[in-house]
Structure 1
Amino acid sequence: MVIHPHQPTQSTMQLRAQIRQDIRTARRGLTSTQQLADANKLFNRLITHPKVKNAQHIGITLANDGEIETVEFIKWCWANNKQTYLPVIDPIKKGHLIFIEYTHKTEMALNRYGIYEPKQCATHRCAIAKLNIIFTPLVAFDLQGNRIGMGGGYYDRILSPWFKDKKGPYPIGLAHDCQQVNNLPIEEWDVPLPEIITPSQHYYW
């Protein structure tokens, strides 16, 4: 566990940047054996989750930068007739994401961050409001359900309607155990999560 006490001499922005750096380094430092074990434990938690069992449309991401692997869970969704959708950077609306259906036939391309995403196709686009669950990536989280991502604010924008009046897809964070910190320095636009699942814990708030 990484502890980052708030230091008055550091700005919130600097502190968040340091946490991002520390946690990304820890995450990337996991061995392939650890990554596989974490992915298997997460998979077993996800396929027994009541909300997953009842969901038909699921927003999720592919692992990048040491994130916990989701491929086996996605394959399980396909086998159980659940549709999965990956985020794509909206080419028109700056700072926003759209979700495109992901199947084994989906053509992929690298985006501006070097992350693979589906090639955009209007016929396979899913309105965010139609998603039942949105598995939310994060860099770090604390025991109050707060999260910080990479700093683009994409998911805070998506989840703000849910946070305000519980409309839209239900968010669940996915992370390695090493991504938990004691307390995150929070900004007013940060959206806390109602659940975060790690290989060893299932947190509810």
Structure 2
Amino acid sequence: MPAERADLLRPLRTQLRQRRRALVAAERIDAAQRLARHLLNLEFAPDDGPVAGYWAMDGEIALHAWQLGLPPGCRYCLPVLSGDRLVFAPWRPGDPLRPNRFGIPEPVVAPDALLEADAMRMVVMPLVGFDDRGQRLGMGGGWYDRTFAARRGVAPPPWLVGVGFELQRVPLPPPAPWDVPLDAACTEAGVHDFRKVER
């Protein structure tokens, strides 16, 4: 990553993470409920198959309401670190978890239960920020960009949906060549559909 782009993104990440952590509990709960409705009503929301979420940390918007509202045919999965990419493990509340090297809980499953990225019907991913062109600002580790590199310029599935609070929608500098754009972003305020955006 060019040094000047990194210099722009570093303070922006800090500012946006502070903003989302400053939200009070009542705002978070209400936002998670509203987010779930928007995700469940997406035009391309699957009725069956594996869908991926994440374990919310560091002020990220929670997905429990969406998970509980999924159609019976959907299998909810959480990401698991595998080399320099992510794979996905089915998980239900009460199933065992263990922290990965970043302290993020991952399902404890047999290796043959893990699913590759291209098996997902839809992936709901956390973000630090996003813009009106469907660019996602993550934590800077590149996990989702590496995992879904095959989606650059290729039609879904999996559908890639970033989620966060509306206060995380901000102008971003031009993307890096390896950045994978979102198909949509959902916040408590509604759906931002990027499928017809000129990239």
Q: Same fold (TM over 0.5)?
A: yes
Other structure's SS at 1:40 match: helix
Q: CA RMSD in A?
A: 1.7
**Structure 2 partner of 1:132:** 121
Check 1:47–1:167 CA distance in 2 against 1; reply closer, same or farther (3 A cut). closer
| More displaced stretch, 116-125 vs 154-163 | 116-125
Other structure's SS at 2:77 match: strand
Instruction: Indicate if the aligned counterparts of 1:100 and 1:121 stay in contact, CA closer than 8 A.
Output: no
* Superposition TM-score, scaled by structure 1 size: 0.87
Other structure's SS at 2:152 match: helix
Q: Which of 54, 57, 68 is the aligned partner of 1:61?
A: 54
Q: Which amino acid aligns with 1:139?
A: V
Q: Residue by residue, what CA displacement relative to the aligned partner does 1:109-149 show, whole Å, maximum 9, x if unpaired? A: 11111211112421321122111001121111111111111
Give how far 1:168 is off. Answer: 4.5
Instruction: Indicate if the aligned counterparts of 1:161 and 1:167 stay in contact, CA closer than 8 A.
Output: no
**Structure 2 partner of 1:18:** 11
Q: C-alpha distance in 2, partners of 1:70/1:184?
A: 28
Q: C-alpha distance in 1, partners of 2:59/2:74?
A: 26
Instruction: Indicate if the aligned counterparts of 1:132 and 1:169 stay in contact, CA closer than 8 A.
Output: yes
Q: Which amino acid aligns with 2:80?
A: V
Which consecutive residues of structure 1, in runs of 5 or more, have no partner in the other structure? 1-9
Q: C-alpha distance in 2, partners of 1:169/1:199?
A: 22
**Structure 1 partner of 2:42:** 49
Instruction: Indicate if the aligned counterparts of 1:161 and 1:168 stay in contact, CA closer than 8 A.
Output: no
**Structure 2 partner of 1:180:** 169
Give how far 1:202 is off. Answer: 0.9
| 1:80 matches 2:72 | yes
| 1:32 matches 2:21 | no
Q: Which amino acid aligns with 1:177?
A: E
* Superposition TM-score, scaled by structure 2 size: 0.89
| 1:89 matches 2:89 | no
**Structure 2 partner of 1:201:** 190
Structure 1 stretches of 4+ with a deviation exceeding 3 A read none
Instruction: Indicate if the aligned counterparts of 1:107 and 1:119 stay in contact, CA closer than 8 A.
Output: yes
Instruction: Indicate if the aligned counterparts of 2:46 and 2:74 stay in contact, CA closer than 8 A.
Output: no
Q: C-alpha distance in 2, partners of 1:37/1:129?
A: 32
| 1:118 matches 2:107 | yes
Q: C-alpha distance in 2, partners of 1:69/1:167?
A: 24
Q: C-alpha distance in 1, partners of 2:112/2:75?
A: 14
